[in-house]
Amino acid sequence: MFSVVLGTCIGKMREKGKPLLGLFETLSEAMMIITSWVIWISPIGVLFLVAAKLLEMASFIEVLGQLGWYFMTVMLGLMLHGFGTISVIFFLTTRKMAFPYIAKMSQVLATAFGTGSSSATMPITIRCLDNMGIDPRVTRFVIPVGATINMDGTALYEAVAALFIAQLRNIHLTFGHIVAVSVTATAASIGAAGIPQAGLITMVMVLDTVGLPAEDVTIIIAVDWLLDRFRTTINVMCDALGTILVNSLSKKDLSGDANGHLELAEPHELVELRPDQKE
C-alpha cells in the first residue's frame, strides 16, 4: 500500500519526482543483477542445503518416494488447472476451444519451460499474440500485468508444498489451516517476481502461516527446479489465454461501435482563417 501511495505521489510531482523515480528504477535494476548473481551461485548453496537434509533423514528411500508423490500431485494440479479450469472458463467466455490457441503458442511454451521466467518469455508471448491477430493495445497491457501478478501455477504449487511439508513433519492441519494456506499462497504468488524459482522466497510466508519452519523449504529444492519450469509454462499459457479472452470481450469497444466497425465522423465545414489565426 505504501508503494502504491508513493508511486501515485511521484506521478503527481511530475518533473520534481523524476529523480526519486530514477532512484527506484536504478535500485530495481541493481537488485535484478544481484538476483542473477545469486542464481548463478545457488547450485553450490543448494548442494549443501540438500546434503544437510539428507543427513537428517532416517530413511532416504522413504523420503524419495514421498517426493515422487509430491511431484506427481503438483503436476496433476497444474495440468487440471491449465487444461481444465482455465480452458473451461475460456470456452464459457469466448465460446471457442482453447486448445487450437494453445497449439499455436508452442514457441512461447517452449521458451517458458526453458527459461523458467515469465518476464524473459514476455517478448515472445507478445510477438506470438500479435501474429495471431490480437489487438496490440490489449496485448501490451495484459501481458506485462499478467507476467507480474498472474502466478496461478505458483499459488497452486505453494499450497501443495506447504501441505506436503506438514504431512512430512506429521503435523495435523485443520480445515481452517488449509484455507489459510490457500489464501496466503494466492496472495504471496502475486508478489512473486517473474524470475526462476522466485516461488521459494514467498514459500517462507506460506509456511509461517501454519507454523512450519522456514528451513523445510530445502526439502523440496531437489525437485523444485523442474517443477518451476512446468508452473512457469502454465503461468505464461494462462497469461496468453487471458489476453485472448480480454481481446474477445473488448473487441467491440476497441473497434469503435457496437457493430465492430469504425464510424467516420462527418466532415466539418471548412472555415477560412484570418492571417493571425493560421499560426
Segment 67-108, tens digit of pLDDT: 888 888 889 989 998 889 988 999 998 888 989 999 899 888
Instruction: Give the model confidence (pLDDT) of 123-175 as tens digits.
Output: 888 888 988 889 888 998 899 888 878 888 888 888 888 888 888 888 888 88
* Phi then psi dihedrals of residue 267, to 5 deg: -65, 135
> pLDDT for 6-23, tens place per residue?
989 998 998 998 999 899
Evaluate whether 226 touches 72 at the Cβ level (below 8 Å): no
Can you tell me the distance from the alpha carbon of 150 to that of 125, in angstroms, rounded to the nearest whole number?
A: 14
**How far is residue 82's CA from residue 152's CA, in Å, rounded to a whole number?**
9
Q: Which of 24-28, 99-103, 112-116 has the lowest mean pLDDT?
A: 112-116
Q: What confidence category does residue 39 fall into, taking pLDDT thresholds of 50, 70 and 90?
A: low
Over residues 43-66, the pLDDT tens digits come to 777 677 667 766 766 666 766 777
Helices assigned H by DSSP within the chain: 2-13, 18-56, 60-80, 86-94, 99-104, 106-115, 118-131, 136-149, 152-168, 175-190, 199-209, 221-249, 251-255, 275-278
Query: How confident is the model at residue 53, as a pLDDT?
Result: 63
Structural domains in the chain? 42-248 (1.10.3860.10)
More confident residue, 261 or 211: 211
Between 241 and 206, whose confidence is greater?
Answer: 241
Mean pLDDT of the chain: 79
Q: Angle at Cα 134 formed by Cα 133 and Cα 138, nearest 5°? A: 160
Residue-wise pLDDT tens digits, 214-257: 777 777 777 777 788 888 899 899 999 999 999 988 887 777 64
Give the torsion through C-alpha atoms of 182, 78, 39, 3, to 10 deg: -40
pLDDT at 195: 63
